Amino acid sequence: MASIERRDLPSDLIEEILSRVPAKSVARSRSTSKEWNTLLKSVSFAKKHSANAPSEESLFIMLMDYRVFILKVNLHGINDGYAPSAKLGHQFNLKDPKISEVDRQVHIHNVFHCDGLLLCTTMDNRFVVWNPCLGETNWIKPRERYKMTDYYALGYDKDKSYKILRVDRQDNDMTTKNEYEVYDLTSNSWRVLGVATDWVLDKHRRGICVKGNTYLVATRRQFGDFLLSFDFSTEMFQSRYFPYPFPFGNASLSVVGEEEQICLSGTTLSPHVRSGDFKVLVATTSSVGTRMSWTNSIAALYRNPKDKSYNVYNFFQGMSFLADEQNNVVVYLSLDNVLHVVGDEPMIITHKWRILVEFPYHLAQFL
């Protein structure tokens, strides 16, 4: 009987074939060979697999009971009358290096996401950069000490070197003093940059990372809210503007799509404010350069539940959100930890979750 000659397929063909295989089957294929394991763990393969996967679910990082989880929100069929659903997925485990107990985990206070990395502050005022998919951590020592009132952001410069922004917020009714410094993860050193006195950062508002730089909503006492950015290459703040006219208050920021567009939501109370009705407008920018071009994306009307004890202001103060243009809905996590899906028919999914951060599908699908 003639022997069968083994022929190796080209690597690009193997990648193309595997990119169309379900994620669970791909995960089981890692042990096939070292070459396959290297391929399946690469970012390029993950992005290709993500592009070929059905986009029925949105993935978020969710902070609950001081632990980080993947939250899966399914909006498929929402426009055809099907109710959305949300369920907790994989739990990430952040081990405490100070404690030898295997199962002892760190209590996480806050999370900032950038490029698949999580910048976490802990309940005992420690600070760590964490790659949850690989389990890698870098615990950062403070120049002096950390405080719960500090603002933190993670980003990278033009050379893809990661840096951390820390703003020591000192604000009262009379004066504002924001001392800010940068930590360079390449040199492992802090550097004080200066003091800003002309803007305030609200403790409930969260910044975002877009193409390496940080964007956040700040406030000037005389002029109200504006868009503030921090460039990790120049290590400078820059004031930017909301789309004009923008007659809305309580602005919040998010990131949309693989191209990382800035998404800005604004709310305006309707004449029926006593019943808790208000509008949600989402404006998306097509540029993150010096000149920013904005286009209106989604407009939705939210009606407050009949529960008189419910505070409508909790919905849009300090909220995290995702704008889903395909389904014309906005997913919000409000200050009172209630998850909302806002569209033609507003719905409440569940509650008791804290921070909501969109997480790249291609980084989490094989967990």
Q: What is the pLDDT of residues 134-179, one digit of tens each?
A: 788 999 998 888 887 888 999 999 999 999 999 988 766 556 788 9
Average pLDDT on 206-232 reads 86
First to last CA, the chain: 44
| Res. 321: pLDDT tops 80 | no
- The residue with tokens 């964007």 is 215
Average pLDDT on 37-50 reads 66
Residues 267 and 281: their CA atoms lie apart, in Å, by 6
Pick the more confident residue, 233 or 224.
Answer: 233
Residue 364: pLDDT band by 50, 70, 90 thresholds? very low
pLDDT at position 342 is 60
Residue 263: pLDDT band by 50, 70, 90 thresholds? confident
Q: Which of 174-183, 186-195, 292-301, 338-347 has the weakest average pLDDT?
A: 338-347
Find out whether 212 and 156 touch, Cβ atoms under 8 Å: yes
Pick the more confident residue, 255 or 196.
Answer: 196
Residue 276: pLDDT band by 50, 70, 90 thresholds? very low
Average pLDDT on 11-16 reads 72
Average pLDDT on 264-283 reads 55
What percent of the chain shows pLDDT beyond 90? 14
Query: Among 107-111, 180-184, 247-251, which range has the highest average pLDDT?
Result: 180-184
Residue 33: pLDDT band by 50, 70, 90 thresholds? confident
Residues 257 and 46: their CA atoms lie apart, in Å, by 15
Residues 135 and 15: their CA atoms lie apart, in Å, by 25
pLDDT at position 322 is 64
Q: Which of 40-54, 55-69, 77-91, 348-362 has the weakest average pLDDT?
A: 348-362
pLDDT at position 299 is 59
Residue 272: pLDDT band by 50, 70, 90 thresholds? very low
54-364 folds as: Neuraminidase (2.120.10)
pLDDT at position 153 is 94
Residues 199 and 23: their CA atoms lie apart, in Å, by 46
pLDDT at position 275 is 44
Domain borders along the chain are 11-53, 54-364
pLDDT at position 245 is 65
Positive or negative torsion for Cα 55, 119, 109, 251: negative
Query: Among 3-17, 117-131, 278-292, 323-337, which range has the highest average pLDDT?
Result: 117-131
| Res. 278: pLDDT tops 80 | no
Supply the mean pLDDT for the chain. 72
Sheet holding 108-114, edge to edge: 108-114, 117-122, 127-131, 136-139
pLDDT at position 287 is 64
Q: pLDDT tens-digit profile of 177-211?
A: 889 999 999 999 999 999 988 888 887 777 888 88
Pick the more confident residue, 124 or 321.
Answer: 124
| Res. 216: pLDDT tops 80 | yes
| Res. 4: pLDDT tops 50 | no
pLDDT at position 22 is 61
